[in-house]
Amino acid sequence: MVINDKLYGTFAVQPVIEALIQSKPFQRLKSVHQGGAIFLVDPTLNHTRFEHSIGVYYLVRKLGGSLEEQIAALLHDVSHTAFSHVTDYVFKNEGEDYHEAIFDEIINQSEIPSILETFGFTPSVLADDSYTLLELPLPHLCADRLDYTLRDLFYANRISIDQIHRFLNSLSVYQHKMVVNSADMADWITRQYEVLNKEYFRKKEHVYANTRFADLLSLALAKATITTADLLGDDFQLLAKLRTDAELRRRLEAIQKREGIEAFAPDEGAAFKPRSLKPTVVS
């Protein structure tokens, strides 16, 4: 299988990665948007968890991570619900880790364990604290954090492919952690992460879309138009179910038309934690 990624270009993948990409749980991610409900108010921001997951896998592989860590990178978001983190807002989950809480359940109820076993792995390969290229707490740089920063900003026309490739060329690994080779590159990605958090995540239209859609899902659950099981489908399946109810359909259309956005306060219903990035520089 050959992947053509908008950020990283064309590359072939190993047989186990190909089999996992072709699995039903991973294919579902093609219809789960990275930004939750943002695409409802801005259809150009339509990138998905599928693209992001392949991107995280690519970065771990590029930096020499083991095949086990590459597998974990590919599957790290496979348990995301429809509309990604909007579910966390519905359940008032401040840690925004609902998908992590159900990860083992989603994996074990799928064909992923049998695929892994076919290639000589077990599901335990997906949980290893030594995967520090894949994931590290802030303010460290890691593959997950880097890909969504670059991908979100690229789709928002905030950075170019040339800037992305220039930064990727500055990356290396020190003590199994992602580092950059110059203070200039460290400053650049730190600024981009600040832009992402202050001007993308907190953009009025984006907060409006996710907040209002979370309210819509809460109402749909209260009316029993949908159940929590429906959240395990994809965005379009969930939208189709919401549209079966006249009131929910009207509210959905109101979100798409941005009704009431003039009076909407960006911090309404949303809690933003201070987030900053401080990459390690090793020249």
The answer to whether residue 38 is domain-embedded is yes
CA dihedral 24, 153, 55, 107 (to 10 degrees): -40
Our count of domains for the chain comes to 1
| Residue 246 placed within a domain | no
> CATH code at 39?
1.10.3210.10
Nearest to 147 by CA among 203, 81, 196: 196
Whether the predicted model's global pTM rises above the 0.85 cut: yes
What DSSP line would sit under 75-116, residue for residue? HTTTTPPTTTTHHHHHTT-TT--HHHHTHHHHHHTSSHHHHH
Domain that holds residue 195: 2-200
Q: Judge whether 263 lies within some domain.
A: no
The amino acid sitting at 64 is G
Question: Does some domain include residue 272?
Answer: no
* Total Cβ atoms within 10 A of residue 66: 16
Q: Residue with structure tokens 């170019």?
A: 160
Catalytic residue among 33, 85, 99, 206: 99
Q: Is residue 176 part of a domain?
A: yes
176 is catalytic: no
Residue pair 235/31 in contact by the 8 Å Cβ criterion: yes
DSSP annotation of 196 reads I
User: pLDDT truncated to tens, each residue of the chain (283 aa)?
Assistant: 999 999 999 999 999 999 999 999 999 999 999 999 999 999 999 999 999 999 999 999 999 999 999 999 999 999 999 999 999 999 988 777 888 889 999 999 999 999 999 999 999 999 888 999 999 999 999 999 999 999 999 999 999 999 999 999 999 999 999 999 999 999 999 999 999 999 999 999 999 999 999 999 999 999 999 999 999 999 999 999 999 999 999 999 999 999 999 999 877 545 566 789 999 999 8
Q: Is residue 257 a part of any domain in this protein? A: no
Residue 264 belongs to some domain of the structure: no
Residue 279, in any domain of the structure = no
